[in-house]
Amino acid sequence: MYKKYQPNHLYQNNITMVSCPDFYFAVHYAEQMNQTIPEFLHRHDLYEIYYVTDGSMQCWCAGESLLLSKGDLLFLGKNLDHHMIYNPSNHGEYFVLIFDIEPRTQNGLKSACASSDTSMEYCELEGILKRIDKEKFILASKKLLAEELIAALYEEQTSRQVGWNSVTGTLYYQFFIRALRLLSSRPSGIQTPSGYMNVALTATKYIHANYSEEISLEEIAALLNVTPRHINRLFQDMFGTSFARTVNIIRMHYAKQNLVSTDQSIELIADQVGLPSSKALTKLFKVQEGITPVEYRFQHRKNMQK
């Protein structure tokens, strides 16, 4: 009678694809194993990582026998004969991950490496994996502390709450990246996050940095290489308000800080937040708060004394 393999530990036999902008990270198999599960000699056209979580293990690969202890990480290149040596008298537990990274295009991404951050990430990962293929296997010199990731993977797969499948794929990719970093201490060539700039949010940061100066919509539009009309539309879409109103609200908030924390005159505070006069600040307060700056200072200082 056919019996289904039903372990009570972390076990992934479905191919899980993590989609990145220019490549896929494909997990073909993952399992948390120990010495009670014999592993036969095998090879495959995929990469593999052995990570010892407890005790020690003896691994045979490419004609060599390697002793792995807790925290050790062994990277195996593609098409390499290997297996964990079965020793029932030895205590050892380990996590195994079989995976590959696959470009989205048929001809690879070499031509895009210099211009796209996501393509550059693929090229950086591929470079380390090619090194593993060249050396056949690499035993990392540093220990990897990833028990919490494996525990999180097991929790996601057993609890199966909303979104567990996506979270599981992300955790596998995080384990892969942590492991790969043990082989390369070089910083990434990617200096800025990938994706499109959030123009509206970037504009608000500019306002925060320059609220004491004169700020024009045209100036920010030129800095961000967009039209003034486009910025206004983005502010309406993202914040539900106009650019000019956002500038005034930010200036008023900084004025509030000075009103409560200093004894400076209304005229001086108006100048510090980029407004032309105390009348302009008073008018802004009456529109936004329904009271004058003097009344705001009195109310909040009174509340602070209670």
Q: Which H or E run includes 31?
A: strand 23-34
In the prediction, which pLDDT does 114 show? 44
Domains and CATH numbers, the chain: 11-181 (2.60.120.10), 199-305 (1.10.10.60)
In the prediction, which pLDDT does 120 show? 83
> Which residue reads 């972390």 in tokens?
10
* DSSP conformation class of 188: P
User: What does the pLDDT average to over 178-183?
Assistant: 94
Give the residue from 242, 244, 238 showing the smallest Cα distance to 197: 238
What are residue 255's phi and psi, to 5 degrees? -65, -40
Please check whether residue 161 is in contact with residue 198, taking contact to mean a CB–CB distance below 8 angstroms.
no
User: What does the pLDDT average to over 161-166?
Assistant: 94
What is the percent of the chain where pLDDT is above 90?
Answer: 70
Identify the residue with better confidence: 61 or 1.
61
User: What does the pLDDT average to over 2-6?
Assistant: 65
User: What does the pLDDT average to over 107-133?
Assistant: 72
Separation between Cα atoms, residue 56 and residue 270, nearest integer Å: 69
Tokens, residue 95: 């996590």
